[in-house]
Amino acid sequence: MRQVLRRTLPTLAVGMLLAGCSTTVVGTASPGPGEPVDVSAEEFPITGVSDSEIDQFARNALADLDTFWTQAYPDFFGEEYQPLQGGYFSVDSNNIDSSAYPQTGIGCAGDPIPPDAVAGNAFFYGGCDLIAYDRALIEELSTDYGRFLGPVVMAHEIGHAIQFRFDGLDAAQIIVETQADCLAGAWTRWVADGNAEHVSIRVPELDDVIRGFLLLRDPVGSDPNDDSAHGSYFDRVSGFYAGFDGGVASCRDSFGDDRLFTAESFDPEEYDNEGNAPYADIVDWITQTLPAFYDSFFPAAFGSEFQAPTVQAFDTTAPQCGDMGNEDRDLGYCQSDSTVYYDETELAEPAYDIGDFAVGTAISLPYALAARDQAGLSDDDGAATRSAVCLSGWYTAQWYNGAFQDTLEVVLSPGDVDEAVIFLLQYGIDPKVFPNVDASGFELVGQFRNGFLQGGSACDIGV
């Protein structure tokens, strides 16, 4: 956060961007019908491929992607899908065997590309209509973020191939990249619904996929208009959710020049602290803006004035209020004394390591439960949890758009919205934070996104 006024919102080789490297929703997921079947090398050839498990899984994913787009492309783009003419290339950047490739390397006649050009990357190259990937990278992603992030990387690159076919690459780079994330999300939903023959995904793996996007975001404070821009964490995750929830039609229709992106450059004074205010300031600002947010709609929606709850920190030992003490909670709303409690030692201060707005997100969640209680709605079940997360997203969007400038001249900095997503994935499904949650981290982030983009109508409060 920063104490200044913010602005008002208003190539053919493309690939995944790994933060810090110089390289180029809500639903129930389930395995497909029966056990996935491996695709043979004869059925789906990949140049330079090994007999490793990671290459087999990549081949399986690419085969299912080919099936998906063969079915979907005519329905959404009005013509037959044309498979990649240049094929697929696998490279092990840790041990490149040049003899495994033709004289053109991972390129094509008239446009040769050396195999080491794909090191630490995966990309679609329209000049040769091909996809190349570093299997050492895919192995690393699978180890760190679960087996399905590799297929999502493949789906993103196939997304660029789809854009190449409908001229979707003629747009700002951040639109190109997040639309490819959307197309990957549409395919992932198809897999999650049990339609794929060769890969499957389980519910917990969706959390891993979303965590993995943190690695794939632009560094916080990057210029969203840069020719290599891929988007903030929220931008990339939001693109993926757009496809997962809305399918290919959403990807085709909702990525115009008016699309909202939260990626933003740092102001000069923010470089040293990366947009983070001192911890001592955060709670004060949160306890000023939260009442202003609920005051803005509560009387009209519920016919009474909003009564701001007390916000109270504690140190390690939860108060004996309701079930908080018995359950050793770190966060909660106590109805009997109308107080939002948070553990400063075991929750707020560690969350501040994520970034200052992670603390704001933590406090906004039980505060939303207090508002639901005043509105006569449940405050202690799974529906209340999902609604609270959605309301936190709406509150964040209002702050992002400058709604509290009359209350406080503090605005969100680059990365603040990302910090909310990270907090939800890291802490949201912890019973010490939400004891009655019946949603995955993936679903919670989806609820936050819905509130951020759609406002209160998405938050199950009758607004």
Contacts 24+ apart (CB under 8 A), 409-412: 409/3, 409/4, 409/5, 410/1, 410/2, 410/3, 410/277, 410/285, 410/289, 411/1, 411/2, 411/3, 411/4, 411/5, 411/6, 412/1, 412/6, 412/357
d(CA 397, CA 335) in angstroms, rounded, equals 27
What pLDDT does residue 267 have? 79
Q: Which helix (H) or strand (E) holds 124?
A: strand 122-125
Token pair of 436 as six digits = 């009655």
**Scanning the structure block, which residue is given the tokens 């929750």?**
347
Chain-centre distance of CA 455, in angstroms?
A: 18
**224 and 231 Cβ atoms separated by less than 8 Å:** yes
Q: What is the pLDDT of residues 329-388, one digit of tens each?
A: 999 999 999 999 999 999 999 999 999 999 999 999 999 999 999 999 999 899 999 999
Count Cβ neighbours within 10 Å for each residue of 171-180 and write b for 16 or more, e otherwise: bbbbbbbbbb
What pLDDT does residue 463 have? 84
Chain-centre distance of CA 93, in angstroms?
A: 28
How big is the chain, counted in residues? 463
SS3 content of the chain, % helix, strand, coil (to 5): 45, 10, 45
Domain spans, the chain: 13-253, 270-458
> Which residues, in sequence order, are CB contacts of 57 under 8 Å at separation 6+?
142, 147, 150, 151, 199
What pLDDT does residue 271 have? 65
**Phi/psi of residue 410, each to 5°?**
-130, 130
**Phi/psi of residue 336, each to 5°?**
-65, -30
d(CA 48, CA 102) in angstroms, rounded, equals 9
What pLDDT does residue 34 have? 60
d(CA 233, CA 263) in angstroms, rounded, equals 8
What residues are paired with 15 via a beta bridge?
123
What pLDDT does residue 298 have? 96
**220 and 275 Cβ atoms separated by less than 8 Å:** yes
Average pLDDT along the chain, 463 residues, taken 10 residues at a time? 38 43 34 75 97 96 98 97 97 96 96 96 96 97 93 97 92 95 97 96 89 87 87 95 97 95 82 78 93 96 96 95 89 94 96 95 97 95 94 96 89 91 94 87 96 96 89
Rounded to 10 deg, the angle between the 53-77 and 233-253 helix axes is 40
d(CA 356, CA 237) in angstroms, rounded, equals 20
**270 and 221 Cβ atoms separated by less than 8 Å:** yes
What pLDDT does residue 11 have? 34
Query: What totals of helices (H) and strands (E) does the chain contain, helices first?
Result: 13, 7
pTM of the model: 0.91
90 three-class SS: strand
Q: What is the pLDDT of residues 172-196, one digit of tens each?
A: 999 999 999 999 999 999 999 999 9
Q: Which helix (H) or strand (E) holds 14?
A: strand 13-15
